[in-house]
Copies of this chain bind each other. A is one copy, B any other.
Amino acid sequence: MYIGIDVGGTNIAVGILDEQLKIIKSGSVSTKAGRAYQDVVRDMAMLTFDLMQQAGLPRDIIKWVGIGTPGAVDVKEGIVRRANNLRWNNAPIASEFKRYIDKPVFMDNDANCAALGEFVMGAAGGKHSAVVITYGTGVGCGIIVDDKIYSGFGGSAGEIGHMVIDINGQVCNCGRSGCYETFASMTALVRRGSAAADANPLSAMAQIRDFSEHLNGKTIFELAKAGDETALTVVKQHIFYMAVGITNIVNILEPEAVVIGGAISKEGEYILEPIRRHVEEYAFCRTLQIPEIVTATLGNKAGIVGAAVLPDYQ
């Protein structure tokens, strides 16, 4: 049995996996971000104990524990060097966790763990390299090269959300102008959707926005599919922006597969078809073979699965 723990800014998710990497029991508690790392680690351990008990499993059956956390993770030392959203600096998570469960503890960045989950058990299963891009509030990414997580020299690689794609673009929270995530994140989609609704007050999108005061990525896609021209223009533009960044990554890394994660992955072929067409038209490797471009399949379980298999892929 393996334990996979996915620490997010909002929730801590824990899963118990069997030898076939099937999640046999999982649960989550609130992270309450901003607390001292000791408090968060205690909650991680307590939830693990609870789940073991619910599953009727003795503690000794655990072979190892994998933990994914936001921020820059010192994989060798098991220390989170810096995680802004948790307000941790040099937090020794692995050693702290071992005070509760004295088994080998492996750690990596949460985006890397989610990527690894998709790589091992999800959309990129059977490949040897993949880039898994998660579109959410920002744009996160995990890179797998030669069956290993690629973390970069100090654990900060894969920040493709902060790749400038418009040198004259709007200022990003990282300080640069025109970062990919200011174009392709769900936040950016909703922002452009809202602006388009303002500009087209008779559109279905404007009416729904004004009625429900709530416009999210899913609504905008639904409106586009239902034939609202304003929403359709926004959605087409959004898919184009997604494709520009993906083509950049294909030109730089030429992975075997690109996996699109986050809530937008539910759109499936509706986004995949135009993105593939863009990559086929513009990627440098187009005359040979373009990477497989697919949507993620594990949803929010990817982080747990990836954390649980860390030792084989670090």
**A interface list, Cβ under 8 A from B:** 72, 81-82, 129, 145-146, 148, 150-160, 162-169, 174-176, 178, 183, 241, 244, 247-249, 251-256, 281-282, 284-285, 287-289, 291
Across the interface, do A163 and B251 meet the contact criterion of CB distance under 8 Å?
Answer: yes
Q: Which residues of B contact A129 (CB under 8 A)?
A: 152-153
A81, B254: Cα distance in complex, Å: 15
Across the interface, do B162 and A164 meet the contact criterion of CB distance under 8 Å?
Answer: no
**Which residue on B lies nearest to A252, using beta carbons?**
B160
Tell me the smallest distance from the CB of A287 to a CB of chain B, in Å.
6
Given the interface contacts A157-B253, A291-B153, does A164 sit within 8 Å of B284 by beta carbon?
no
Q: Which residues of B contact A163 (CB under 8 A)?
A: 163, 248, 251-252
Across the interface, do A281 and B175 meet the contact criterion of CB distance under 8 Å?
Answer: yes
Across the interface, do B254 and A154 meet the contact criterion of CB distance under 8 Å?
Answer: yes
Given the interface contacts A150-B145, A285-B72, does A252 sit within 8 Å of B159 by beta carbon?
yes
Across the interface, do A175 and B254 meet the contact criterion of CB distance under 8 Å?
Answer: no
The 8 closest A-B pairs by CB, nearest first: A152-B254, A156-B285, A157-B254, A159-B251, A159-B284, A153-B256, A163-B248, A166-B167
Across the interface, do B254 and A153 meet the contact criterion of CB distance under 8 Å?
Answer: yes
Q: Which residues of B contact A254 (CB under 8 A)?
A: 151-157, 159
Given the interface contacts A153-B255, A254-B152, does A165 sit within 8 Å of B162 by beta carbon?
no
Tell me the smallest distance from the CB of A39 to a CB of chain B, in Å.
24
Across the interface, do B153 and A251 meet the contact criterion of CB distance under 8 Å?
Answer: no
Q: Which of B150, B155, B156, B251 contacts A160 (CB 8 A)?
A: B251
